[in-house]
Amino acid sequence: MIKLGSKIHDLGKALMTPISVIAAAGIFLGLAAALQNPAVTGETFTQMKTLQLVIGFIRQVSGALFANLPLFFAVATAMGLANAEKATAAFSAVIGFVGLHVGVNYSLLAQNITPETITVAKLTAKGMTESDAMIYAAEFTNTLGIFTYNMSVLGGVLVGLITMWLHNRFYTIVLPTAIAFFGGRRFVPIVTVLVLPVVGVLMSLIWPTIAQGIQWIGELIGRTGEIGTFIYATSERLLIPTGLHHIINETVRFTPIGGVTTVDNQSIVGALNIFNAALANPGLIPDAVTQQATRFLAQGKIPVMMFGLPAAALAMYHCARPEHKGRVKALMLAGGLASFTTGITEPLEFCFIFVSPVLYILHAVLTGLSFVLMQMLHVMIGNVQGGAIDFLIFGVLGGSRTHWWYPLILGIIYAPLYYFSFRWVILRMQIKTPGREDENDAEERAKPAQGTGEKTKNIIIGLGGEGNITAVDCCFTRLRVKVKDMAQIQDGTLMKTGAMGVKRITDTDVHVIYGPQVEQVANLVKAELSGIA
């Protein structure tokens, strides 16, 4: 069970690799869509042929990235979960991805299911209603030119998981001398190309049942309306300390639970995919459909990330003891700016979610309420982060149809609500937010900043020393470390290095929150451990 929990957290981390690329691609796509909108830039600008060709090129590149998301997830999953020889795992995942869909295609052809037999015209001629025919036809797609079931990123993650298992099982295999050349890491793509097509055939037999189950969950969330949105958004915030919020996010962004629509006879699955398809294909997706997708995306985060949490940071600063305000000011300013501009919130959230369940639950409920209100007001702002960048590009530049002023109005209400509620709870319940810790802890944190080399060494010491560390990686804000003995972790030492929090995930996994600069921290720690620092 412990090993399973560790793998689930590793999966969440692996999924962040394609998400970071897609988030950036989404910003480019949003800018390109705005620059090609006469209502935003004017008719003269949109008629500049050379410039519009460049913008169109950007849209094509971004669209190609979104179209191949399942492949990216397959590669990221296998590479992220491989024990070693990650490049081999990634290469094998590409082979496995093609093999899976070839297996599905072969099985479909054997059942006489082809692109010609699933057209709406053919299905209605057999007695189906037009709506049922469209729903059935949407179950299929072309992936890398292969006619197959539309398994979206679930198919990619499945390929990645199977490839990872095969890789970890066989990358050290030793074959007889006569065929020794094909042993070790060379054996992994070979066994992958043997196994995954068979898995594809089996998946073709059970996928319709799985798809019906996912569709049922999606319809249930749709029927519950604002209640379903509230449950999703509140749960996503409550899962922040565990790191499992990535899993629930990717579920609504890339599976039918987040919505399904059709563009040019191609099924678009998942909230983020629908929103990006709407940007790439202006006018082909009704605004009502896009709004149902964006209720899971950035619009509900904007009032919280741009206004609520920065106001909470101000409250924590004002509640700090006078002698610690200088240190706390720097911490709150950095966290507040990260939240406001990019929607990265963990540096601020980890200042209070472990010391005050009341503030933690209040924050989660207010986030859920924000999502619900944005849905009720028919806001249509997508992407994944929810900071000022998303607000400007996908809201303001998207024009009046996005109803961008509603997040702004709610944000103006949320700022004092967060400020005064946080300040009241902190003072009334004597919450030990930054600058209000016990005197000994405060004195330790107030010491002069450590140099880069000293800080890196202290991080290693805080993690129990070199002998206790088995793997180091990071996501957007967390240093993710696998250790042998959790008892050797020294929270106090880690907090002195600038960490905002230390979270034990399993008996072997610990997350140390450093904020947006965590990748630099991870690289320095890896270099120190490898002896090249």
Domain 448-530, architecture per CATH? 2-Layer Sandwich (3.30)
Which one is predicted more confidently, 182 or 365? 365
DSSP assignment, residue 380? -
Question: In 3-state terms, the chain is what percent helix, strand and coil (to 5)?
Answer: 70, 5, 25
pLDDT of residue 265: 67
In this structure, what are the phi and psi dihedrals at residue 256, rounded to the nearest 5 degrees?
-60, -15
- What is the enclosing helix (H) or strand (E) of 262? strand 260-263
Q: Does residue 319 carry a catalytic annotation?
A: no
Give the pLDDT band of residue 436 (cuts 50, 70, 90).
Answer: confident
Among candidate residues 326, 317, 351, the one with its CA nearest the CA of residue 419: 317
Structure-token pair, residue 489:
């972790």
89-108: average pLDDT: 93
Give the pLDDT band of residue 118 (cuts 50, 70, 90).
Answer: confident
Judged against a pLDDT cut of 50, whether residue 405 lies above it is answered with yes
Q: Find out whether 369 and 230 touch, Cβ atoms under 8 Å.
A: yes
pLDDT of residue 9: 60
State the distance between the two ends of the chain, measured CA to CA, in whole angstroms.
Answer: 37
Which one is predicted more confidently, 41 or 224? 224
pTM: 0.69
pLDDT of residue 45: 64
Catalytic-labelled residue, pool 319, 351, 474, 475: 475
Mean pLDDT for the chain overall: 81
Q: Find out whether 35 and 270 touch, Cβ atoms under 8 Å.
A: no
Residue-wise pLDDT tens digits, 231-240: 888 988 887 7
448-473: average pLDDT: 78
134-150: average pLDDT: 81
Among candidate residues 482, 477, 409, 392, the one with its CA nearest the CA of residue 34: 392
**Residue with token string 């120190």:** 528
Residue-wise pLDDT tens digits, 44-62: 666 777 777 877 787 777 7
90-99: average pLDDT: 93
Residue-wise pLDDT tens digits, 161-202: 999 999 989 888 888 888 888 888 889 999 999 999 999 999
Cα distance between residue 394 and residue 29, in whole Å = 10
